[in-house]
Amino acid sequence: MAKLQKIGILTSGGDAPGMNAAVRAVARKALDEGIEVVGIVGGYAGLIQDEIIDFTPRSVSNIIARGGTMLYSNRCLEFKTEEGMQTAIATCKKHGIEAIVACGGDGTFRGATDLTNRGIPTVGIPCTIDNDITATDYTIGFDSAMNTTLGMLDCLRDTCESHARCNVVEVMGRDCGQIALYTAIAAGAVAAIVPELPFDEKELIERIGKLSKEGKRSFLVVISEGVFTPDGKKYGEVLTPKIEKETGVETRFARFAHIVRGGAPSLRDRYTATRMGIKAVELLLEGKSNLVVCEIDGKIEALDINYSQVADRYFKKTLKPGNMESLTPAQQQAVKDLADKRYAELCEMYEMVKVTSK
Ligand code: ADP
């Protein structure tokens, strides 16, 4: 097998703090191995619009501490079409890009698989603040987003305590409750409400009423953005007036939204991005492809993108016909065990919030 000569790197989908650290690690490791590196600007759109920049070690100077992504990110629908895909392949050929490291979430990895299937080897690096890629314990951006969320919850807690108030706070996470659960535990919230687990509204309202009568002044209720009422309303907005009406505790609603996607990446995110970036280049050098770099029990490993996607769909109950059958029996069992493990982790955190919120 001829040695890899040139790789491309892109960031795609929702941005996450630490993407820059991943780009830097990939570029520096590849250059250290004598491989040429190009940055693809604006995610997959850069391959369609031929926006490619040559990287030297200096191209990624002074980005490790910066939020956002210096390569920019786009949601590129054209890339999902066969015509768009062929344009992308032609751009790779034109620039001699032999392999691609794609930083992003599950959509980004689906795009990477499409490239792999058309002859461009790819490795994915999981970057999303939501930590919603089931196969990996950890995604780049999660820690930073949680710390930003926590800082803002602490601020709200101060003012809730002063004025004897309750604040219902909607946090990011899409259909994944991890940001809500972790930050609720760390902020001392009275409840975390997440899409994956049932929630007892009556119990919470009674508890807030009782604790208020006993002298507790501040209440935080952390709710994931993916929790809706049966008729499609944002549940946090519906719950807020109910708490006030039924407990007499003044209750306000806050939504942190995209603020937590920005800001300087935490040490954890920079470190993990560096480890994953180096691993991605090593995998390509070993001739491997269609893999996603994962952190599993503290180790950096690689899993097949298809396996990762089926694991995701199994856990999120969005399996399509044939998904499970595309895996070996051993992989199917591993997917089931992983889903059980993830569910148990969520339940454990959920209990932790309850037990510590007296
Ligand atoms: P994320 O990677 O954060 O999940 P998206 O789902 O928006 O974000 O995906 C990012 C980009 O990946 C899309 O804009 C598109 O260019 C590409 N992509 C997503 N899904 C597919 C798919 N099924 N086939 C090919 N490309 C895809």
Q: Is the CB of 108 under 6 A from ligand 1?
A: yes
* pLDDT at residue 249 greater than cutoff 80: yes
The question of whether 340 is a catalytic residue gets the answer no
Residue 305 confidence (pLDDT): 96
191: tokens are 């409840």
Neighbours of 251 (CB within 10 A): 22
Catalytic position from the list 106, 114, 130, 304 = 130
Ligand 1 pocket mutation pick from 40, 79, 122, 258 by most atoms within 8 angstroms of CB: 79
How far is the first Cα of the chain from the last one, in angstroms, to the nearest whole number?
63
Average pLDDT over residues 165-188: 97
Neighbours of 163 (CB within 10 A): 11
Is the CB of residue 42 below 6 angstroms from any atom belonging to ligand 1? no
Give phi and psi for 204, each to the nearest 5.
Answer: -65, -45
Q: What are phi and psi of 99, to 5 degrees?
A: -155, 160
Do the beta carbons of residue 99 and residue 66 sit within 8 Å? no
- Residue 68 DSSP symbol: S
CA of 85 to the centre of ligand 1 (A): 12
- 1 confidence band (pLDDT: 50, 70, 90): low
Grade residue 300 by pLDDT with cuts at 50, 70 and 90: very high
Nearest to 283 by CA among 116, 151, 79: 116
Q: What is the mean pLDDT of residues 194-211?
A: 96
Are the C-beta atoms of residues 293 and 207 closer than 8 Å to each other? Answer: no
Token pair of 26 as six digits: 């990939």
In angstroms, the CA 42 to CA 190 distance is: 41
193 alpha carbon to ligand 1 midpoint, in Å?
Answer: 28
8 Å CB contact between 50 and 94: yes
How close is the Cα of 108 to the center of ligand 1, in Å? 4
Q: How far apart are CA 91 and CA 93, in angstroms?
A: 5
pLDDT of residue 74: 87
Task: Look at residue 348 and give its three-state secondary structure.
Answer: helix
Q: How confident is the model at residue 204 (pLDDT cuts 50, 70, 90)?
A: very high
Q: Determine whether the shortest distance from the Cβ of 118 to ligand 1 is under 6 A.
A: no
Does ligand 1 have an atom closer than 6 angstroms to the CB of 130?
A: no
Half-sphere exposure of residue 119, counting CA atoms within 13 Å on the CB side? 9
**Confidence (pLDDT) at 75:** 86
Structure tokens at 273: 């991005």
Report pLDDT digits (tens) over 92-108: 999 999 999 999 999 99
Mind spelling out the 3-state secondary structure of 257-308?
HHHHHCCCCCHHHHHHHHHHHHHHHHHHHCCCCCEEEEEECCEEEEEEHHHH
Map tokens 């454990």 to a residue. 348
Which phi and psi angles does 180 have, rounded to 5°?
-60, -45
7, 101 contact by CB (below 8 A): yes
Write down the pLDDT at residue 22.
98
Question: 13 vs 357, which has greater pLDDT?
Answer: 13
Residues 6+ apart with CB under 8 A from 242: 201, 205
DSSP 222: E
> 260 C-alpha to center of ligand 1: Å?
21
Q: CB atoms < 10 A from the CB of 217, how many? A: 14
State whether the beta carbon of 245 lies less than 6 angstroms from ligand 1.
no
pLDDT digits 0-9 by tens, 34-59: 999 999 999 999 999 999 999 999 99
CA of 305 to the centre of ligand 1 (A): 14
Ligand 1 atom having least distance to the Cα of 105:
2
Cβ 106 under 6 angstroms from ligand 1: yes
To which residue do tokens 């299937």 refer?
A: 117
Residue 32 — pLDDT band, cuts 50, 70, 90?
A: very high
Other beta carbons less than 10 A from residue 298's beta carbon: 7
CA 297 to chain centre: 18
Average pLDDT, the chain: 97
87 has pLDDT over 90: yes
Ligand 1 pocket, mutate which of 12, 81, 118, 125 (most atoms under 8 A from CB): 12
pTM of the full predicted structure?
A: 0.96
Pocket residue to mutate for ligand 1, from 40, 73, 75, most atoms within 8 A of Cβ: 75
Residue 12 beta carbon below 6 angstroms from any ligand 1 atom: yes
Q: Whose CA is nearest to atom 12 of ligand 1?
A: 108
Q: Cα–Cα distance between 348 and 178 in angstroms, integer?
A: 12
- Residue 132 phi/psi, 5-degree rounding, is -105, 25
Looking at residue 163, what is its pLDDT?
Answer: 98
For residue 104, the CA-to-ligand 1 centroid distance in Å is: 9
- Structure confidence by residue, pLDDT tens digits, 303-318: 999 999 999 999 999 9
- The letter for the amino acid at 12 is S
